[in-house]
Amino acid sequence: MDLGLSGKVALVAAASRGLGAAIAKILAEEGCTVEICSRSLDRVEHTAGVMASNTGQTVVGSEVDVTDADAISDWVDSAAERHGRIDILIPNAGGPPAGSFADMGPLDWDAGYRLTLRSAMAFAHAAKPHLGEDGSVLYLTSSSVKEPIAALALSNIFRAGVAALAKTLASEWAPERIRVNQLIPGRIATERLDELDAYIADHGDATVEQVRSLMHSGIPLGRYGVPEEFANAAVFLVSPAASFITGATLVVDGGALRSIQ
């Protein structure tokens, strides 16, 4: 299937590694001009260089702290100026620290808000003037928006807000033919998941291997996903091939969520 992405301009945040990098790579392979950002300039420039070399597409890496709304705005405006427009926006950010509600204090709440929910709103605000007709925004959230996850209190709380934001924007921006969707990862094998499995092991008197075995047993497909599987779904949703899909929530989790909706 031709996804119709050749020549599109795509911005993917927090994309020097993990799910963001996997999505950016496939977008470039599909013919997009891609802008990626990260808190680490060295890492994001290296990732951008590898992607550009492997795909022959323009891939630009920038240092951006997504907890800083002004930095988000500056990056989005600069990217739009470089390329003349933005067709695709994928806001993204690393997850807030693991821990129960009792583990967290006001400073943690504020930091989690800036990282997760405020950054999502800041990306929408900054990108809206540059998104033309048939623009597409895809928020990456978590299965916690469907069912809270133990020891991830901050993520449970603030990613639910991002899910509500995606639904709100899908309705408000539809008359301008800007689509907004949400993509939920299950347990996808990334460095972030390694950290979470280690946290569960440390707090549960178990080994990481035991934690993974237990988690695998709760996934009908019997394994963790790989980033490319998640990225393939993301790239479809932002593409013209999904032109009648907005306000949707797609789950990529190997069947782990059992809920009807």
Nearest to 208 by CA among 221, 197, 224: 197
pTM for the whole structure: 0.96
Q: Please determine, for residue 157, whether its predicted confidence score (pLDDT) is greater than 90.
A: yes
CA distance 117 to 158: 6
Q: Nearest-5° angle of CA 180, CA 172, CA 163? A: 45
Q: For each of the domains in the chain, give its residue range(s) and CATH number, in order of start.
A: 9-188+225-251 (3.40.50.720)
The two tokens of residue 1 are 């299937």
Beta-sheet pairing, 59-63 with 179-185: unpaired
Angle between helices 69-83 and 119-127 (to 10 degrees): 30
> CB–CB of 170/247 below 8 Å?
yes
pLDDT at 60: 98
Residue type at position 46: H
pLDDT at 224: 97
pLDDT at 260: 79
Average pLDDT over residues 235-240: 98
- Model confidence over 132-144: pLDDT tens digits? 999 999 999 999 9
- Model confidence over 164-189: pLDDT tens digits? 999 999 999 999 999 999 999 999 99
